Structure 1
């Protein structure tokens, strides 16, 4: 707990009091301010007088100020319960994107930036990086295309792509689908899940939200139900199918207008990989290494399926389906490793797990987290009303500080929005609400960051309990949040997770290793029956006669930890082949031989066919339906939300994350000296320098893939 004197932050938290009208008006207002500032620069500065201080620095300060407002205006669409406010937020994002496109294609400004770069003034490294990135940004936004119809077309494409991305994500956020299913159809699904479902006329309404979907696919004994749920989920947002196709075609057209052979070449040029060949070689090598393992894993799983069906007098057709995998993967954990994920979840109540995770970050990075509740919220709210500093009453907010060893200073605000609700972003992600940067007067502006997740809600008899994969997800997203909080950059452009996409996941992926470390699993755990007398009674009621069973230990037992760790890479080839499927599909659609060839691609059929080819999991195509039975590419936002020609980054950044963990932390994950070195060498830098330089500074050498392949059980 922080000393009392730390409890009044030097900067008030943001407020979330917007109305649909104010969101639109505030957006127009700051766009007008930014446009006037740029117009004034163009009017006052001649090319021969252009410099970083006169041209780029004022725009950078404006970008910093914009971030304090813009991120929150666009955030409401992902979290608000008010449909009109979500719609206004979507409209605001469209306005901001349109303005950004206009600004990034101003030739009059580009000429001044170009002159400032050619002037060659001696700048500090981060300012030099900003100047070079700004200059390159204008070129990548079409200013190397001669003025006229082609440049106009490029601008038109950019605006349309922005619209498509916004509509696509809105469709996902607003998705309300589900299935009415009988208790018999949901046989095997845990009672905890069923008790949270809407029920009418003897049937349950199963949504496609994660807390409903995954347990059904994992525990539902009825194969026909799993099939129905799986296929329906793959078709839950079919209105996104034409949007996705249009975006892929427009990206390719835009890249060719810029002189690139395809969209992937355009996107990857600016990342760590630099070339499509580097990415293709990496994915191809990984495919060849994983392929045999995937086939062997399926052979074992098919045997398990055969025995299971025979034990229930059901016919086995010698196939292993897409909707089988979560079910039999879970069964293998239970039967071959004596591992019960439901039992493990009892040791990870959401709130105590969060407290444990924050404590790890406190010890490792020299931080202190203070939850702000009750009257303390009123005290720090600019309006005096505590409700104004959160967007929903379920949201938790923390002030974050350096500990005494790090100087006891303020770090920023952390928000946790953990449960599903209608209209909310449906996955798990970290959102920057306000960036950190150095203000014009030289003082520091502190960041605010939010974790938006979808864990199961507490019930009257149980708190929210996390499966181990959810513990890992939470730790991963908190890792992004910490990256966002401890970053120390001059400009918001480079703050926190604003790194290249094929590095951004590495810091959080590295922290996932703590969820597989015995000492940390022990420290994170806290059996829910020991939280309160009421929970103890509820546990006894579920466990059976109290005279025949003892209350569990408060901390997870060593034998359970041991069993869990043995499953770390269970069916790991299939898991990584799934990631490889996304990465190879992404590259396929963004690296066509020609635009005409891309126009002929049947995207959904390619998505499904490639998955079958890679993972050897059967789908409805075996019933004569062909590969056009589902539209999985339309159901997740990555390839429309910034990971286009970049999904490979989830795999390539694991090379870096595993190297960092094995080299520095594996022997002692709670080495505070190394933790602080990692904080200052890697996390603080954000994107303010080349990411490879950051890695080399931390590792003391170039990164190597050896640990990555060792972790996967593959020979290098």
Structure 2
């Protein structure tokens, strides 16, 4: 039972009781309400009497209230086990997007917004920002283009791009492919994984089904000794969503056409204009400078890994697999082997100290200490008590989902903060990566009352079994901490308007707060506090550990110092190759979105470009090196690249540029004492609470006390 002071949150959590029919009817109801508000404004207001209060504020409040339902309506397609519900969610999102496009292209409303801007009323800073962003939004939706064929074509493009985005992501979410292998072929892969795979029947008798889901894919690429198996799995994974190939191509062609209609030279110029970087040149210069700095280290790391491969194949009688190349399907395997051989880093041993449940509790405890928060898990009667329906099952969308009420501690005023949901295991039809989804934003309503947010982490970690809990590799611990960082950003944000809530910042800043928090996963004291050997979690787990380990000596309860030391030492091992891989994504993104002419993007072979750039930038070989003539048409990785369709277009560089800011913040403020509560709370109030309510550069400067610097970033990468 939750402590008494936490049993009655002032706001109920959302419910997840929708049907396919209700999703559609609710969508049309929301659209009708919003359209009426816009129509009423146009009927009752003229440019002469237009003000912030009678033109901007009613629509902002409608946006606030609409988002409470619309986010959840669109969320079902990422998490529901019901195909019909997912389909209805996708259909509803398309209706919402189409309505959004229609609304964004209303001349009558735009004329009133322009009149308000021209009057230059005295407004608070966030309202001023809302007005300016509102006005700019109409211009970016083509209302600077005279009515006629060009504007009609722009609208047509926007609607088609919305359709493509929904269809592309649906294909990714519902991807259910894999390959059949014999257990002998899977030699080296952890037995726990293999034993949990689906067993074959009929023609596949004696085989197991290995999916492309991360908990199957990554460990197999890391541990499978058979190079042919790793190659077949890697190449098949690069071709798992080939229905998206044409959709990706159509997207980049349409984006370029739309940008040129608006008077931009390309889509990248259009997209980056309102980000921190401002121009594609700034981005290209940053990426190319980083590429030239990282390339020598990447080649050196590749040589060391190839030498390890050569020795390994020779000692195992597999020299026929050594043709002088170091392949993409070699990398996870030999990177892992190098860490084991040179740094005594055993990822399976490390994972024993990070059972998912206790690791989450440890992470939440860290956030409680540094940010002044309290997390209360809602189970059993507590769920029933907070549910608007009285049924606790109604406040989650799946039985595996955990939900927490989140509060300020006494030092922060003991107030309510919001709700946090954790959906951590893979299942059919579910979003396949790790991400944070806002379910309902925070804002100030028309009565001046605070509306509290709800946020969800959707991940895909291995499921627990009766004999062993879900265990996290160290990189999965980092991923979980990163996504929880987004969740905290979403929870503690305090903005007037939902438009600026939480992670609604520019894309080349949004990753910085979460990337900054990743540093806690590389700090000895925090690793120790997060850890708990799984044999201490449950007597049954202890019995199983004793049986499989072959020793009666109990392991230490927390992770030993020598293992922590090994983890810390490996932070930058093969770091150049890792960052070159990120550069491949970023440079590919920029290349497809800044063609010199429209004909160039029409004639572009995106698959060949993706694979050629990967070879040139990451320095690692693909199947193109196996034949007599280089052929880059072997895979279609861009068809699985959801980021470039889902909002990171001409923005993937943000993962790297955000690291500049995140590293600067950590090394300047937190490195001496990561658990400093005074600095943690200052960070919460100065950075996280602001969301996108002010210029992100201003947020950074307020926290750092100066302009951000690249010095810590390059120093951390060993490039300075």
Same fold (TM over 0.5): yes
Q: Which residue of 2 aligns with 1:334?
A: 340
Q: Deviations over 1:266-299 (max 9, x none)?
A: 0000100000110000001000000000000000
The secondary structure found in structure 1 opposite 2:98 is: helix
Q: Is residue 265 of structure 1 aligned with residue 257 of structure 2?
A: no
Q: Where do 1:176-191 residues align within 5 Å? A: 176-191=176-191
Q: Which residue of 1 aligns with 2:19?
A: 19
Q: Is residue 412 of structure 1 aligned with residue 418 of structure 2?
A: yes
Q: CA deviation at 1:6?
A: 2.2
Q: Is residue 196 of structure 1 aligned with residue 196 of structure 2?
A: yes
Q: Which residue of 2 aligns with 1:379?
A: 385
Q: Where do 1:431-450 residues align within 5 Å? A: 431-450=437-456
- TM-score calculated relative to the size of structure 2: 0.98
Q: Where do 1:177-256 residues align within 5 Å? A: 177-200=177-200, 201-256=205-260
Q: Distance in 2 between matches of 1:332 and 1:232?
A: 26
Q: Which residue of 2 aligns with 1:689?
A: 694
Q: Which residue of 2 aligns with 1:527?
A: 533
**Structure 2: where are the runs of 5+ without partners?**
none
Q: Which residue of 2 aligns with 1:700?
A: 705
Q: Distance in 2 between matches of 1:570 and 1:247?
A: 37
Q: Is the 8 A contact 2:437 2:455 kept in 1?
A: yes
Q: Which residue of 2 aligns with 1:132?
A: 132
Q: Which residue of 1 aligns with 2:657?
A: 652
Q: Which residue of 2 aligns with 1:589?
A: 592
Q: Distance in 2 between matches of 1:234 and 1:662?
A: 37
Q: Is residue 710 of structure 1 aligned with residue 703 of structure 2?
A: no
Q: Distance in 1 between matches of 2:692 and 2:375?
A: 25
Q: CA deviation at 1:388?
A: 0.3
Q: Deviations over 1:386-422 (max 9, x none)?
A: 1000000000000000000000000000000000000
Q: Deviations over 1:664-696 (max 9, x none)?
A: 000000000000000000000000000000000
Q: Distance in 1 between matches of 2:682 and 2:625?
A: 54
Q: CA deviation at 1:623?
A: 2.3
Q: Which residue of 1 aligns with 2:581?
A: 578
Q: Distance in 2 between matches of 1:615 and 1:269?
A: 28
Q: Which residue of 2 aligns with 1:672?
A: 677
Q: CA deviation at 1:475?
A: 0.2
Range with greater deviation from structure 2 (377-386 or 441-450)? 377-386
The secondary structure found in structure 1 opposite 2:58 is: helix
**Partner of residue 356 from structure 1, selected from 362, 365, 378:** 362
Q: Is the 8 A contact 2:2 2:378 kept in 1?
A: no
Q: Which residue of 2 aligns with 1:554?
A: 557
Q: Which residue of 2 aligns with 1:515?
A: 521
Q: Is residue 563 of structure 1 aligned with residue 566 of structure 2?
A: yes
Q: Is residue 632 of structure 1 aligned with residue 646 of structure 2?
A: no
Q: Which residue of 1 aligns with 2:548?
A: 542
Q: Is residue 283 of structure 1 aligned with residue 283 of structure 2?
A: no
CA RMSD across the alignment: 0.8
Q: Is the 8 A contact 1:2 1:369 kept in 2?
A: no
Q: Is the 8 A contact 1:154 1:257 kept in 2?
A: yes
Q: CA deviation at 1:617?
A: 1.0
Q: Deviations over 1:608-636 (max 9, x none)?
A: 00000011211111123600000001112
Q: Is the 8 A contact 1:230 1:323 kept in 2?
A: yes
Q: Distance in 2 between matches of 1:224 and 1:533?
A: 41
Range with greater deviation from structure 2 (211-220 or 191-200)? 191-200
Q: Deviations over 1:85-120 (max 9, x none)?
A: 000000000000000000000000000000000011
Q: Where do 1:449-488 residues align within 5 Å? A: 449-488=455-494
Q: Deviations over 1:180-235 (max 9, x none)?
A: 00112111000111122101211010000000000000000000000000000000
Q: Is the 8 A contact 1:2 1:368 kept in 2?
A: no
Q: Deviations over 1:576-596 (max 9, x none)?
A: 000000000000000010001
Distance 1:385 1:2, change over 3 A: closer
Q: Distance in 2 between matches of 1:456 and 1:195?
A: 13
Q: Is residue 388 of structure 1 aligned with residue 394 of structure 2?
A: yes
The secondary structure found in structure 2 opposite 1:588 is: helix
Q: Is the 8 A contact 2:2 2:382 kept in 1?
A: no
Q: Which residue of 2 aligns with 1:317?
A: 323
Q: Distance in 2 between matches of 1:97 and 1:165?
A: 10
Q: Distance in 1 between matches of 2:189 and 2:567?
A: 22
Q: Which residue of 1 aligns with 2:94?
A: 94
The secondary structure found in structure 1 opposite 2:419 is: strand
Q: CA deviation at 1:3?
A: 4.5
Q: Distance in 2 between matches of 1:246 and 1:343?
A: 46
Q: Distance in 2 between matches of 1:245 and 1:454?
A: 29
- TM-score calculated relative to the size of structure 1: 0.99
Q: Which residue of 2 aligns with 1:49?
A: 49
Q: Distance in 2 between matches of 1:185 and 1:242?
A: 34
The secondary structure found in structure 2 opposite 1:238 is: coil
Q: CA deviation at 1:2?
A: 7.2
Q: Which residue of 2 aligns with 1:345?
A: 351
Q: Which residue of 1 aligns with 2:146?
A: 146
The count of aligned residue pairs is 712
The secondary structure found in structure 1 opposite 2:48 is: helix
**Partner of residue 610 from structure 2, selected from 607, 612, 616:** 607
Q: Which residue of 2 aligns with 1:303?
A: 307
Q: CA deviation at 1:545?
A: 4.3
